[in-house]
Amino acid sequence: MHDYAEEVLALVQAKNPAEPEFHQAVREVVESVERVIERHPEYRAAKILERMVEPERVIIFRVPWVDDQGEIQVNRGFRVQMNSAIGPYKGGLRFHPSVNLGILKFLAFEQVFKNALTTLPLGAGKGGADFDPKGKSEGEVMRFCHSFMSELYRHIGPHTDVPAGDIGVGGREIGFLFGAYKRLRNEFSGVITGKGINWGGSHVRPEATGYGCVYFAAEMLATRSDTLQGKTCLVSGAGNVALHTLEKLIQLGAKPVTCSDSTGFIYDEQGIDAQKLAWLREIKNVRRGRVQEYTERYPQASYTAFVPGASSSPQWDVRAQCAFPCATQNEINEEDARHLLANGVTCVVEGANMPCTSEAVKTFLDAGILFAPGKAANAGGVATSGLEMSQNAMRVCWLPEEVDDRLRTIMRSIHAACMDAAAAYGTPGNYVNGANIAAFIKVADAMLDQGVV
């Protein structure tokens, strides 16, 4: 069986050269599901894995726009429509200079498994552009989004492909994208999620990824008769996922002490409370500034700038019990993982997509600590997007408590599905295997049912 797994990985590497993040994401899944394929030769016979690693469709397009100086700018737009076996393609759009096809393929591949875990009928896709909204005027961001949608609109639709936000795509960008789609199609439909609450959005969607992560952490701790109450927590990032993770941690009585952006991190030993979080929100969402500005109002906190190319990050070398990496992929390497363990961390929950390198994940699993992969822990965002789609289809708007209740129930089911699948395949407590196996079986069975498509 090991030979078959290596064969699939070799094929992926040969067909997708220079896409290391995609290789990394595929390897992790293949290593988990080889034990399933051993028990179920029908998956191998139907070449399920070979089909899953090949996107159903990839769209690459030019995004020309005019900046405030009247200069023409050209970016590259993408949509990877990865798998529609269990529902319409669903997954976010990322606007960041690092965006390329390999990054989006890794994200789209992860999305297949994440969406299957949500219990909802959601296929998987991911898209974006190598555009950086940071430092751009409102007018520039709007013109870019309108140009981006003037091509994307022909490939998406409420029953085909429903994008949402991701890094660099928040409420503002979703508004501009939706406005352009509506105008081009002359149709008001649930074609994109993360919309404003007054125009088809769902309560709790902005909060859902961060809240979901914390709900997942609470479920994991409960398996060891423990809670988040009083736990010192490290959080990275200061965007959508990080800020709502901080909010829920504070609500549940934990003590978050860090957050970061791409230039550095702040450490507030006394804890980030609700009032300090309000200041962070103002910095990020109103001033569109840097986390360093936190220390202007709270000088007892320290700010440490990151050193480009450093072998480890000082933000993971702080005494704590839990860590929530919520910024970006591969932000925790093996050395960081060892620092976290040495500092007393016994629970790591991935808020971002694949924030831990494969070596870091292995370090955590070998140490026997609680480790939640992003595809399970951060699935609350896409799950609530699924709930937004349901509300749009029914033309209703559920109350915040109702959506939050559903989110909690979904996170509880994901946790249970991971535990059950891990145990059924001989690796109890291994959430990486559990998430990959439970999701793989669901998608693979749907693919078998639908024949060779």
Binding residues for ligand NDP, rule: CB under 6 A, are 165-168, 170, 209, 237-242, 261-263, 326-328, 351-353, 378, 381
- By beta-carbon proximity to ligand NDP, the closer residue of 147 and 328 is 328
Long-range contacts of 186-190 (CB under 8 A, 24+ apart): 189/157, 189/158, 189/392, 190/158, 190/162, 190/388, 190/389, 190/392, 190/393
- Using CB atoms within 10 A of its CB, is residue 338 exposed (0-12), middle (13-18) or buried (19+)? middle
Instruction: Determine whether 126 is an active site residue.
Output: yes
Enter the tokens of residue 339.
């620092």
Number of residues that make up the chain? 453
Q: Nearest approach, Cβ of 64 to ligand NDP (angstroms)? A: 24
Q: Nearest approach, Cβ of 204 to ligand NDP (angstroms)? A: 12
Question: What type of residue is 302?
Answer: S
- By beta-carbon proximity to ligand NDP, the closer residue of 242 and 419 is 242
Q: Nearest approach, Cβ of 113 to ligand NDP (angstroms)? A: 13
Inter-residue contact 149 to 184 (CB < 8 Å) = yes
- By beta-carbon proximity to ligand NDP, the closer residue of 137 and 263 is 263
The closest alpha carbon to 353, from 449, 239, 264, belongs to 239
No. of H helices and E strands in the chain?
17, 13
Q: Nearest approach, Cβ of 7 to ligand NDP (angstroms)? A: 30
Closest-approach residue to ligand NDP (CB): 239
Q: Nearest approach, Cβ of 27 to ligand NDP (angstroms)? A: 19
- By beta-carbon proximity to ligand NDP, the closer residue of 123 and 239 is 239
Q: Give the span between the Cα atoms of 399 and 412, in whole angstroms.
A: 20
Distances, alpha carbon 42 to alpha carbons 38, 275, 346, 452, in Å: 9, 56, 39, 13
- Strand, coil or helix: what is 162? strand
* CB neighbourhood size of 190 (10 A): 22
Q: Give the span between the Cα atoms of 293 and 85, in whole angstroms.
A: 46
Q: Nearest approach, Cβ of 311 to ligand NDP (angstroms)? A: 15
- By beta-carbon proximity to ligand NDP, the closer residue of 164 and 417 is 164
* Helix or strand (DSSP H, E) at 442: helix 431-450
- By beta-carbon proximity to ligand NDP, the closer residue of 200 and 351 is 351
Catalytic residue among 90, 105, 114, 126: 126
Q: Which residues are catalytic?
A: 126
